[in-house]
Amino acid sequence: MKFDTIVLGAGIVGVSVAVHLQKRGRSVALVDLKQPGNETSFGNAGLIQREGVYPHAFPRGLLTLLRYARNQSTDVRYHPDAMLKLAPFLWQYWRNSHPRRHAAIARSYATLIEHCVTEHRALAQEAGASSLLRPIGWMKVFRTAAKQDEETRRAELWHREFGVEFDSLDATRLRQTEPDLDTSLLAGLRYVASDSVSDPNALVSAYGRYFEQLGGRFFIGDGTTLNDKWAVYTHEGKIEATSVVVAMGPWSEQVTSRLGYRLPLAVKRGYHMHYEAQPEARLNHPVLDIEHGYLIAPMSRGIRLTTGVELARRDAPRTPTQLNAVEPIARTLFPLGARIDGEAWMGARPCTPDMMPIIGPARRHKDLWFAFGHAHHGFTLGAVTGRLVAEMITGESLLVDPHPFRAGRFSE
């Protein structure tokens, strides 16, 4: 079977690329080993972060680094046997997190973030999935005045530079907004222009169904079988195309490296677990416990608790020690009931050392395109990335200048 474009990877980014190309009259094949939305896109916190103009930086404070070095922190853990391989990546990540460099990166990054909510809402409406989006924002809560001051200053900076909207909540307003949270909390901060999603997997699945309704074809297959003739082997046989988009998240390098591209991709792993709420307890917003580095969010399946960062090899055995460490803390924040899931879910966020995704054409292969490396904001930026890649492939005017996200920046 022959197509105009094969999209490798059926996470939020790949599905969005496929939808936007199919809408523009391309014949598109979407290929993944699992159904759409069943890997990294499955288990995130369900946030579409309009406030996420500054990508997550590497900590630079000495006390923070010493705390992380002990490998006892609730927000960051690491596998010691992975550190040697990760060292060059982490060094560049640390350098790019210098305040001046980070600010410059944010100016480019914010051009994508600016469109994240509007693009998701548009796609969700077309796919008949608007009911999954909640335009209620999300919250950070504070246990200390020092952390409240730090985060408020950060929000004010984002507002001045990029128009990020937020609402500061004192203890009284916080209790009015979330009456079942720990009453000893000092204050909160709500990012009002962001959306949350009641079921991330359901949203990606809806986008996938919409893609097929538009005439696209989904195939169960292994993207790593791609050859330089742009053919891939699926359960239905070989398929071919004149162009390929690699959108395989943390597995993208398995394809790009065989084609001769050495792109600095690492992963930050994370875990989640669902819980019942205690009788009569209700959580209205996703809530980040900023001092302990975990988030709880109301989902269709229950209350989802997501952990911070685990630095490890992508395929290393699961070590949900962070989840076990934060669960007792989360139970003091909100009255969680019993665990719902049989075991912790784990996903891997694909990250670059400059905190920006890789979006655009490959340098040495005609009709090969990249769309991966979105780190913590893959779900947030999936829809806008899909539109941008489709515009680039079809030669339309572009929503965003893609130059900062080019793959060649790492070898220039």
Give the β-pairing of 138-142 and 287-289: parallel
Q: How confident is the model at residue 317 (pLDDT cuts 50, 70, 90)?
A: very high
Q: Given this model, what pLDDT does residue 228 score? A: 87
Band the pLDDT of 155: cuts 50, 70, 90.
Answer: very high
Mean pLDDT across 349-359: 98
Comparing C-alpha atoms, which of 312, 315, 310 is closest to residue 82? Answer: 312
Q: Which residue has the higher pLDDT, 364 or 387?
A: 387
* Number of other CB atoms surrounding residue 391 within 10 Å: 18
3-state secondary structure the chain: CEEEEEEECCCHHHHHHHHHHHHCCCCEEEEECCCCCCCHHHCCCCEECCCCCCCCCCCCCHHHHHHHHCCCCCCEEECHHHHHHHHHHHHHHHHHCCHHHHHHHHHHHHHHHCCHHHHHHHHHHHCCCHHHEECCCEEEEECCHHHHHHHHHHHHHHHHHHCCCCEEECHHHHHHHCCCCCCCCCEEEEECCCEEECCHHHHHHHHHHHHHHCCCEEEEECHHHCCCCCEEEECCEEEEEEEEEECCHHHHHHHHCCCCCCCCCEEEEEEEEEEEECCCCCCCCCEEECCCCEEEEEECCEEEEECCEEECCCCCCCCCHHHHHHHHHHHHHCCEEEECCCCCEEEEEEECCCCCCEEEECCCCCCEEEEECCHHHHHHHHHHHHHHHHHHHHCCCCCCCCHHHCHHHHHC
The per-residue pLDDT for 385 is 99
pLDDT tens column, 100-142: 999 999 999 999 999 999 999 999 999 999 999 999 999 999 9
Q: Flag whether pLDDT at 412 surpasses 80.
A: no
State the greatest distance between any 2 C-alpha atoms of the chain, in Å, as a whole number. 63
- Looking at the DSSP bridge assignments, the partners of residue 240 are 2, 231
Q: Which pLDDT value is given to residue 175?
A: 98
State the Cα–Cα distance between residues 168 and 190, nearest whole angstrom.
Answer: 6
Distances (CA, A) of 85 to 82, 276, 309, 329: 6, 39, 17, 32
Q: What gap in Å lies between CA 30 and CA 211, rounded to an integer? A: 9
- Rg (the chain; Cα; Å): 21
Residue 269, Cβ neighbours under 10 Å: how many? 24
Give the domain 2-44+201-263+354-411 fold.
FAD/NAD(P)-binding domain (3.50.50)
Would you place residue 397 in the very low, low, confident or very high pLDDT band (cuts 50, 70, 90)? very high
Structure tokens belonging to residue 242: 């004149």
Q: State the average pLDDT over residues 370-398.
A: 98
**pTM, to two decimals:** 0.96
Rounded to whole angstroms, the Cα distance separating 369 from 392 reads: 9
Residue pLDDT, tens place only, 250-306: 999 999 999 999 999 999 999 999 999 999 999 999 999 999 999 999 999 999 999
| pLDDT beyond 90 at 95 | yes
- Using CA atoms, how far apart are residues 26 and 249, in angstroms rounded to an integer? 23
The residue type of 123 is L
The two tokens of residue 333 are 């924040």
Share of the chain above pLDDT 70, in %: 100
C-alpha–C-alpha distance, residues 395 and 383, integer Å: 18
- Predicted local distance difference test score (pLDDT) of residue 404: 98
φ, ψ at 356 (rounded to 5°): -115, 145
What pLDDT digit, counting tens, does each position of 182-241 carry?
A: 999 999 999 999 999 999 999 999 999 999 999 999 999 999 999 989 999 999 999 999
pLDDT band at 159 (very low <50, low <70, confident <90, very high): very high
How many whole angstroms separate alpha carbon 28 and alpha carbon 210? 13
Please report, for the chain, the start and end positions of each structural domain, with discontinuous segments joined by +.
2-44+201-263+354-411
Cβ atoms of 40 and 349 within 8 Å: the answer is: yes
> φ, ψ for residue 397 (rounded to 5)?
-65, 145
| Dist. CA 307–CA 271, nearest whole Å | 5
Is 79 within 8 Å of 309 (Cβ atoms)? no
- Tell me what the mean pLDDT of segment 158-180 comes to: 98
242 burial level (CB within 10 Å; 0-12, 13-18, 19+)? middle
Average pLDDT over the chain, rounded to whole?
Answer: 97
In DSSP terms, 189 is beta-bridged to 140, 168
Give the distance, in angstroms, between the CA of residue 316 and the centroid of all CA atoms in the same chain: 20
Is pLDDT above 90 for 74? yes
Note the pLDDT of residue 357. Answer: 99
**Residue 40: predicted pLDDT:** 85
Of residues 43 and 194, more confidence is placed in 194
Per-residue pLDDT, averaged over 94-101, amounts to: 97
pLDDT for position 298: 98
Q: Is the pLDDT of residue 39 over 90?
A: no
Q: Check pLDDT > 90 for residue 50.
A: yes
